[in-house]
Structure 1
Amino acid sequence: MSITVNGLDELKKLAGGDLGTSDWIEITQERVDTFADATGDHQWIHVDPERAAAGPFGAPIAHGYLTLSLFIPLFTELLDVQGVTTKVNYGLDKVRFPAPVKVGARVRLTGRLAEVTDVPGGVQIAVEGTIEIEGADKPAAALRSLSRFYA
């Protein structure tokens, strides 16, 4: 369930609060292969299921950057900011990939709005996010994402 805010003042009121948890999405071999084609990263551990089955993880795994790229679609399930003219991905402060995501696994995002800071014409938010793997002890990714919203 998404939190919807209208404008920068309402967004500022959420600072320090939990944003909740997204729905689960499955990491399919088709998604991994499409990402490999888009990035040119065709390492066997991602795109060769037979060889990967005999590899260190016992199955093909998603690219770390594929997992990271899912932050935006998962994040849009958590927070919807209305009443602004522009929404910009400003970057990342920190990213870690504690555990691989095997093809067939499901992942979801939990998030917290760590900070809301004024910038010229708008605000910058810092979101602390964890991309969890269903049934796993360690997350797939832990990150701090920065976005800007302009009035």
Structure 2
Amino acid sequence: MGKLVINSYDEFAAHLGEELGASDWLQVDQDRINLFADATLDHQWIHVDVERAKKESQYQSTIAHGYLTLSLLPYMWDQIIEVNNIKMLVNYGMDKMRFGQPVITGSKVRLVTKLHNIQNLRGICKAEIEFRIEIEGQRKPALEGIASFLYYFN
């Protein structure tokens, strides 16, 4: 399935309640985790100390930061949808966000989305996207919730 292409508010609104698509699988490796640790100054051993995690972690491995998993959402969202005729896109908020289980280093994740709600706020499109970041081979998602974006259509 290719990207969903949206050219107007009305085209977007026509998908209310529908699954919008899924991203490709993305591997979360130790290099990505280490870079995120450096960027956020969160070097907790469960994320970056491979040898200690093998011995002391219940997962026998390092795990991705929960916020690293969340931060992949815009990249994966861009694989699902192309919204044209906009001046700007702004992250607006998160609701009902829950971390279901950790992403063990080396796992692959993907984003699955559904249009939960959409509103026209004086010419600004507020889209609420129900999202689930799945882990390949796992029933329970790594993360789920509702992400709100503001699309400023031309």
TM-score of Structure 1 vs Structure 2, range by shorter chain: over 0.9
Unaligned regions of 5+ residues in structure 2, if any? Answer: none
SS of 1:123's equivalent?
strand
Q: Which amino acid aligns with 1:52?
A: A
Q: Find the aligned partners of 1:9 and 1:131 in 2 and give their Cα distance.
A: 27
Q: Find the aligned partners of 1:117 and 1:145 in 2 and give their Cα distance.
A: 14
User: TM-score scaled by structure 2?
Assistant: 0.95
Q: Find the aligned partners of 2:82 and 2:89 in 1 and give their Cα distance.
A: 11
The ranges of structure 1 where at least 4 consecutive aligned residues each deviate by more than 4 angstroms after the TM superposition are none
| Aligned-residue offset at 1:94 | 2.0
Aligned alpha-carbon RMSD (Å): 0.9
SS of 1:60's equivalent?
coil
Unaligned regions of 5+ residues in structure 1, if any? Answer: none
Alpha-carbon displacement from aligned partner over 1:62-100 (angstroms, at most 9, x marks no partner): 000000011111111111110111111111112111110
Q: Which amino acid aligns with 2:71?
A: S
The corresponding residue for 2:15 is: 14
SS of 1:76's equivalent?
helix
The alignment status of 1:142 with 2:144, answered yes or no, reads: yes
Q: Find the aligned partners of 1:7 and 1:39 in 2 and give their Cα distance.
A: 36
SS of 2:86's equivalent?
coil
1:1-150 alignment, distance < 5 Å:
1-54=2-55, 55-150=57-152
SS of 1:9's equivalent?
helix
User: TM-score scaled by structure 1?
Assistant: 0.97
